[in-house]
Every structure is written in structure tokens, then in C-alpha cells.
Amino acid sequence: MSPSRTDAAPAVSVYDFSVTTIDGSEQTLAAYRDQVLLIVNVASKCGFTPQYTGLEALHRKLHGRGFSVLGFPCNQFGQQEPGNEDEIKSFCSLTYDVTFPMFAKVDVNGPGTHPLFQYLKQQQPGLLGSQGIKWNFTKFLVDQHGLVRKRYGSVDKPESIEPEIEALLV
């Protein structure tokens, strides 16, 4: 797991965070500056795993207009992401032909929560103000200024989010 920030100043956007790619290199989310993002905690063995199809379709359709899906594998919900990064990358490529950026496994809840997900949850709490992520495939919509605009649950299908993504791309 990568450290996210090196200074003590509070984060003001998602661009203030560093993450580890699925290939093991460090990357700052500032690389996605000026893009609309859908940040998703994903898993390979979940009932919602077929959402990879919709996520990939959105990414392919809208990427040329300044949109990216960012996938963060997480094994905190029913141990539904047991593989290592190579296994996850292979599964995503072979099963769903995923081309959107994937990152190293992270925790999204608890004491080991990745700082990016701490920030996302703080900016867009869940139902009744809860901070915890309930399950795999929780999605956070981020505008082109790095501000977290909306949180979607696991049951929200990627295609149902498209109109809100389109509105930010205008």
C-alpha cells in the first residue's frame, strides 16, 4: 500500500493523492487533472463483478472526451478479491477486456483505509452520513477540478450514471 501524501496540509482535491498502479509504480492522481473520473472499489468474485462490462463501456465511450474510470481492487467484502495484482490484472484483461487504469489492492474501510478513500468518504458520505463503504463497486464521481461530486452504491449500474458524467463533460 502506498502512502498517499507527504505533507501535513489537508487535501483539497483527489489530485493531492498518490496511488500505486496495478503494475507497482507510484502515480499521482494529478495525472488525471482536467478529467472527469469514476473511482470504483472493484472485486473479481462478487455478484457485482459483471459491472466491469458497464464500466469499460463508459470508459471507452467517453475517454476521448476527458473521462476515465479508475479501478481499485479491494478484498474487504467477503474476501471477493483474493488474488494478487498480477492475477487481478489478468482476470480483468481476459474476462472483461478492461483498458481503464487499475491500481494495487487497497483497504477502503478500517484502520488501513487508503487515504484516497478516507478523502472520498469524507467528501461524499453514504446514507445517513455514514462514512463506511458498504460493499464492492461503490463509485465516486469526481469532476474535472478534482472535486468529489457524488457517491453511488453497488447497485447503481455504470450505465445509469452516464447522464451525470455527460453533464460534467459539457
Active-site residues, by number, are: 46
Distances (CA, A) of 52 to 32, 70, 117, 143: 20, 11, 20, 21
Q: How is 3-51 classified by DSSP, letter by letter?
A: ---SSSSPP-SGGG-EEEBTTS-EEEGGGGTTSEEEEEEE-SSSTTTTH
* CA atoms of 112 and 150, how far apart (whole Å): 23
Q: What angle do CA 129, 132, 134 make, to 5 degrees?
A: 110
8 Å CB contact between 18 and 5: yes
For helices 158-169 and 51-62, the axis angle rounded to 10 degrees is 20
* CA atoms of 147 and 48, how far apart (whole Å): 26
- The one-letter code for the residue type at 4 is S
